[in-house]
Copies of this chain bind each other. A is one copy, B any other.
């Protein structure tokens, strides 16, 4: 079997697929690309059994075949070649031979039979949406996925199709993000949970272009131009998160996002590495933000202007979580809706946008003193 391909064309193709190749795996076959040549097209796939990537180019080949080729070695070789024609050839000795004008590269390869099947998600449920919208939804919510495997559903991002649009929800039990995109109307009420690694890879693949999404019970497939990204879903029930969102938080603090965020970044230098606690002492026109590192005998306190309607309150938060939330609120001014120092706090942008709704929830921590 033989075929020819331009080095830069192949490099572009492989660079799209390589993100699915796992860095470490107990299954060595996953460290390969699957090359499938069929009727004049070369399709390249990779998978880590959770996510898969697939794309094709046209090539002139003399027969149909499948090959499994070491992914990183091949990608690095192709990437390091100048713009040149590459001649692929399989020989009887289970090596693939690549020839260019000046060089010959022989690469050992494994049997294509061992390569896992890439799921084909058929089109029963098809949605079109803008890549920019999808990317924004992911970037707005992904930070709050749980890192702990105890409750698998919470390690992923919930996509919840509701009447008003498409909701993206993440929570790790300490904070929660709910982002609603009202542009995406689908007349369905369904929930899908996408694993963390899929979210992270997908976010880097997205661009301005329109995306086609195909949904099944076990997998989602995203068609991004000529690239197909498939991920298995987390087959668990997402926690009933709506019940933890308080409705009666009537103490309202409005504050400049950047003022508070830059203060929080300084507080992170002081909040002791174990407690990571920052204290908000909220008054009518200002909030005192303070942190202390008892082990090193250092502490900090800053006064920030705010508008507060409610009883004066002292409330503690995890500094890193406040930092995450303020970094994702996406508005110059932010509202904290408080109930009491032990109840969940709601954080929202002051300016509401027409086609989206963002709600952030943060659990307080018990104050040291």
User: A interface vs B, CB < 8 Å?
Assistant: 70, 73, 76-77, 80-82, 94-95, 102-108, 262-263, 265-266, 269-270, 296-304
Contact = CB atoms under 8 A, between A and B. Distances in A.
A108 B296 contact: yes
B298 A106 contact: yes
Contacts of A270: 105
A101 B149 CA distance: 45
Contact of A108 (B81, B269, B298, B300): B298
Nearest to A296: B108
Contacts of A76: 269
B300 A104 contact: yes
Contacts of A107: 297-298
Given A70-B296, A296-B108, A102 B302 contact: yes
A110 to B, nearest CB: 10
Nearest to A286: B102
Contact of A103 (B73, B108, B303): B303
A95 B303 contact: no
Contacts of A105: 266, 270, 298-301
B266 A82 contact: no
Given A266-B77, A266-B81, A269-B77, A297 B95 contact: yes
Contacts of A77: 266, 269, 300
Nearest to A259: B102
Given A103-B303, A303-B102, A304-B102, A298 B73 contact: yes
A73 B269 contact: yes
Nearest to A107: B298
Given A108-B296, A296-B70, A296-B108, A103 B265 contact: no
5 contacts: A70-B298, A103-B302, A104-B300, A105-B300, A106-B297
Nearest to A108: B297
Contacts of A263: 103
A185 B104 CA distance: 51
B300 A103 contact: yes
Residue with the greatest number of chain B CB neighbours at <10 A, chosen from A108, A269, A303: A269
Contacts of A103: 263, 266, 300-303
A165 to B, nearest CB: 38
Given A73-B296, A106-B298, A106-B300, 6 more contacts: A82-B262, A95-B297, A103-B302, A107-B297, A107-B298, A108-B296
A103 B303 CA distance: 6
Nearest to A109: B297
A106 B82 CA distance: 58
B302 A106 contact: no
Contact of A80 (B106, B269, B303): B269
Contact of A299 (B106, B298, B299): B106
A357 B270 CA distance: 53
Contacts of A106: 297-300
A200 to B, nearest CB: 27
- Between A73, A82, A102, the greatest number of chain B beta carbons within 10 A of the residue's beta carbon is seen for A102
Nearest to A266: B80
Nearest to A300: B105
Contacts of A82: 262
